[in-house]
Structure 1
Amino acid sequence: MRKKVVVLGAGIGGTSAAYELREVLGDEAEITVVSDTPWFHFVPSNPWVAVNWRKPDDIKVNLPQTFARFGISFSAAGAARIRPEENSVDLGDGSTLVYDYLVIATGPELAFDEIEGFGPGRNSYSICHVDHAAEMARKWEHFCADPGPIVVGAVQGASCFGPAYEFALLANTDLRKRRIRDRVPITFVTSEPYIGHLGLGGVGDTKGLLESILRDKDIRWITSARVDRFDSDKVVVSEVNADGGVGKVHELPSRLNMMIPAFRGVRCLFDENGKPIDGLANPRGFVLVDRHQQNPKYPNVFGVGVCVAIPPAEATPVPVGVPKTGYMIESMVTAVAQNIRDAMHGATPKKEASWNAVCLADFGNSGVAFVALPQIPPRNVNWAGKGYWVHLAKIAFEKYFLHKVRKGKSEPIYERVVMRLLGISKLRG
């Protein structure tokens, strides 16, 4: 009898997992992907969507049609609750899926509610989801017709900083093209202890590179920032000292806000009482895994991507999380696929993911790329560079990844494409 493998999530991690599991397991398994939407969207392109350099349809793939061509079942009902003791998942439509192996690749829930006035429909916008980015794009056109001050950045507890830098600098580029940059003061507000920390303690000279770029583009910044609230016309920010005390409170006038939120685990990782499922998730709701991406309590459950629990790189005055970049996610996927195959054959899982950080941050007419192998110091590779070539490299990568999703390819795009674009022949860390 064929084993049942369920993948929760259909982003970069979930779609990659489905294709790699299909290649590695072949006819030995039935693979079902569960998502809360029938669409894959390429999240790294959301900053482009937000300034109308892409349309949402440019970065989306219809999953029911695509997966069907490759023998992968799909449900857009979403996961309501995981029941690991019963090897089952309750879906949003009231049905239940039973599994032999479960891969959790849900991504995060966006914790907008943790700050007053924060998030879409309130007093700020987001680029964490394509629908949020599309809403931001509509607002962007209205804003450009009647411009004013902007606040951009990442709040306390955020673990994804690259898109914040991207949006600030893409906005700068777009405003200059429209010849209205002189009417838009931009302030970059971040929980990082210094510019270019990125949740990783910096990579290469990201501190110097990004400070220089922000200074050159007339973008002011506030670091170690705790956002207290978003009002309709301003953002209230406390600047936190090294000892945890508040050094200064800023009231920043703003006509438009785009801030990256903190993340937490999605609802299906919590029990009926609203508590994280014991042994499956940490208090924040992130999936607990060992070095084989395997949950210690439920060995037939594996975690991939942003939903995985990773401790902070270091203590900082304002909490910051560790980012999970695309290469790391693909590396996790490869480890999970091979470890599930080994478990199905009675062997002990032994494949470990390479937790490396690779990022391409596009600024419209330039950009910054960095490689950290491994992501937390000390490192074997600790490199950052900038130039127009980063802009071109990210465009190429977007095309390759969307091609991968549409054609059902299991190849690790970050290693085979991005590393070649960066001139690094082999990833080792």
Structure 2
Amino acid sequence: MRKKIVVLGAGIGGTSAAYELREALGADAGITVVSDTPWFHFVPSNPWVAVMWRKPEDIKIHLPETFAKFGISFSSAGARRIRPAENAVDLGDGTTIGYDYLVIATGPELAFDEIEGFGPAKHSSSICHVDHATDLARKWEAFCGDPGPVVVGAVQGASCFGPAYEFALLMNTDLRKRHIRDRVPITFITSEPYIGHLGLGGVGDTKGLLESILRDRDIKWITNARVDRVEADKVVVSEIAGDGGVRKVHELPSRLNMMIPAFRGVRCLFDEDGKPIEGLANPRGFVLVDRHQQNPRYPNIYGIGVCVAIPPFESTPVPVGVPKTGYMIESMVTAVAENIREVINGREPKKEATWNAVCLADFGNDGVAFIALPQIPPRNVNWAGQGYWVHLAKIAFEKYFLRKVRKGKSEPIYERIAMRFLGVKKLRGE
């Protein structure tokens, strides 16, 4: 009997999973992708959209006709609730879809409501979604006509720090091109215990590299920062000491700000009482998986990417999450596709994702790349480097990934870029 596979989410993880599952299973499975939008957008390019170096349409692909070319069904109704005991998902349009195997690749919900005055609907901007970045681009153009102080960073509980550094430094580059950098004091605030921690305990000399870069660009910083509230003209931040007490409260004037929020699981992972579905998600709503990306309670459910539960690397004065980088997501995708194929064929799943980190942070006229094999120390490879070539590699990555989505390819783009630009000969299995 032809198996039904449902993929929730159509971002980097979801689209890659659909294509790898199609390649791994061929006509033996019916694949349906469910998203809350008909558009794929390339999230790593959002910082460029925010400073108007890209238009939203440059990084978006319309999915219904794209997936149809490759025999993949698609719904933009969104998932309202997963009913794992019944092998079903209730969709946003009131219909229900059944499955034999479910792949959850939804990405996160953005927890703006956890801080007073925080979020695009209130007093701060975001680059976590292309629509947020588009809104910020409008604010950016108006701001450049009447510049002033800026606050950029990542709040308590955040797990995605690279884009915060990217935006601060892309903004610096753009301001210098406009010859108004001297009119814009920039403060970088972060929940990290030190600059370059990145939720990973640092990679190579990211601490020294990023501190030097911020210093060279006249960007001040505050670490161990807890954002207490955001107002129309300022950001109030408590700097937390090692014992958990407040070392100092900062009131930072701000004409514009962008801060990465904490993440949590999306609504479909919670039950009707607003509690995470028992056995499927942790208290924060992230999907529980084993080393095969398989949920222990419901083994026909798999998790991929930012929605997956990974415990913090270490205890820090302000909560810091662990990032799920693009390379790790692609590795999870491959493991899920191969394991579902094994199970369909009556065998035990055996493929394990390689949780390595490969990251490209573009600063416009410079950039930093790092490789952590494995992601959490101690590591076999622990390297960070700086140069204009990072900017070029990020452009190439955008080009190749958008082509992958349009052409229905299952190739691992992060690995390809790492081998071409970073000289890495082997990533998987390190």
Measured against the shorter chain, the TM-score band is over 0.9
Look up the equivalent residue of 1:137 and give its one-letter code.
A
Look up the equivalent residue of 2:77 and give its one-letter code.
A
Matched, 1:162 2:162: yes
TM-score in terms of structure 1 length: 1.00
Aligned to 1:386: 386
Q: Cα deviation per residue 1:118-141 (whole Å; 9 max; x = unaligned)?
A: 000210000000000000000000
Structure 1: distance between partners of 2:6 and 2:186: 45
Structure 2: distance between partners of 1:43 and 1:247: 35
Structure 1: distance between partners of 2:41 and 2:75: 16
Aligned to 1:113: 113
Q: Cα deviation per residue 1:216-257 (whole Å; 9 max; x = unaligned)?
A: 000000000000000011000000001100000000000001
Shift of 1:426: 1.1
Structure 1: distance between partners of 2:416 and 2:165: 26
Shift of 1:418: 2.8
Structure 2: distance between partners of 1:421 and 1:3: 40
User: Counterpart of 1:27 in 2: which secondary structure?
Assistant: helix
Look up the equivalent residue of 1:122 and give its one-letter code.
K
CA contact (8 A) 2:148 2:184 kept: yes
CA contact (8 A) 1:358 1:370 kept: yes
Structure 2: distance between partners of 1:369 and 1:59: 22
Aligned to 1:222: 222
Shift of 1:417: 2.5
Structure 1: distance between partners of 2:279 and 2:121: 35
Q: Cα deviation per residue 1:376-421 (whole Å; 9 max; x = unaligned)?
A: 0000000000000000010011000000000000011111223321
Aligned to 1:418: 418
Structure 1: distance between partners of 2:125 and 2:408: 33
Aligned to 2:329: 329
Structure 2: distance between partners of 1:204 and 1:11: 29
Aligned to 2:310: 310
> After alignment, is 297-306 or 410-419 more displaced?
410-419
Shift of 1:174: 0.2
Aligned to 1:259: 259
Structure 1: distance between partners of 2:336 and 2:419: 22
User: Counterpart of 1:159 in 2: which secondary structure?
Assistant: coil
Aligned to 2:26: 26
Matched, 1:344 2:344: yes
User: Counterpart of 1:329 in 2: which secondary structure?
Assistant: helix
Work out the number of aligned pairs and report it: 429
Shift of 1:425: 1.3
CA contact (8 A) 1:366 1:388 kept: yes
User: Counterpart of 2:85 in 1: which secondary structure?
Assistant: coil
Structure 2: distance between partners of 1:261 and 1:419: 32
Task: State how 1:267-278 maps to structure 2 within 5 Å.
Answer: 267-278=267-278
CA contact (8 A) 1:397 1:418 kept: no
Aligned to 1:64: 64
Structure 1: distance between partners of 2:420 and 2:240: 41
Structure 2: distance between partners of 1:175 and 1:293: 43
User: Counterpart of 2:291 in 1: which secondary structure?
Assistant: coil
Look up the equivalent residue of 2:209 and give its one-letter code.
L
Aligned to 1:288: 288
Aligned to 2:2: 2
Look up the equivalent residue of 1:204 and give its one-letter code.
G
Structure 1: distance between partners of 2:362 and 2:219: 16
Look up the equivalent residue of 1:162 and give its one-letter code.
G
Aligned to 2:131: 131
Look up the equivalent residue of 1:371 and give its one-letter code.
I
Task: State how 1:176-255 maps to structure 2 within 5 Å.
Answer: 176-255=176-255
User: Counterpart of 2:66 in 1: which secondary structure?
Assistant: helix
Look up the equivalent residue of 2:264 and give its one-letter code.
R
Look up the equivalent residue of 2:278 and give its one-letter code.
D
Structure 2: distance between partners of 1:165 and 1:149: 17
Aligned to 1:367: 367
CA contact (8 A) 1:5 1:31 kept: yes
Structure 2: distance between partners of 1:121 and 1:283: 26
Aligned to 1:405: 405
CA contact (8 A) 2:366 2:386 kept: yes
User: Counterpart of 2:340 in 1: which secondary structure?
Assistant: helix
Unaligned runs of 5+ residues in structure 2 are: none
Identity of aligned residues (%): 84
User: Counterpart of 1:33 in 2: which secondary structure?
Assistant: strand
CA contact (8 A) 2:49 2:130 kept: yes
Structure 1: distance between partners of 2:389 and 2:178: 23
Structure 2: distance between partners of 1:342 and 1:95: 30
Q: Cα deviation per residue 1:136-182 (whole Å; 9 max; x = unaligned)?
A: 00000000000000000000000000000000000000000000000
Structure 2: distance between partners of 1:45 and 1:252: 28
Shift of 1:79: 0.2
Unaligned runs of 5+ residues in structure 1 are: none
Structure 1: distance between partners of 2:187 and 2:133: 20
Matched, 1:103 2:137: no
Structure 2: distance between partners of 1:156 and 1:41: 26
User: Counterpart of 1:379 in 2: which secondary structure?
Assistant: coil
CA contact (8 A) 1:83 1:90 kept: yes
Look up the equivalent residue of 2:17 and give its one-letter code.
A
Structure 2: distance between partners of 1:415 and 1:212: 28
Structure 2: distance between partners of 1:140 and 1:415: 34
CA contact (8 A) 1:9 1:33 kept: yes
> After alignment, is 132-141 or 413-422 more displaced?
413-422
Structure 2: distance between partners of 1:383 and 1:45: 23
CA contact (8 A) 2:393 2:417 kept: no
User: Counterpart of 1:85 in 2: which secondary structure?
Assistant: helix
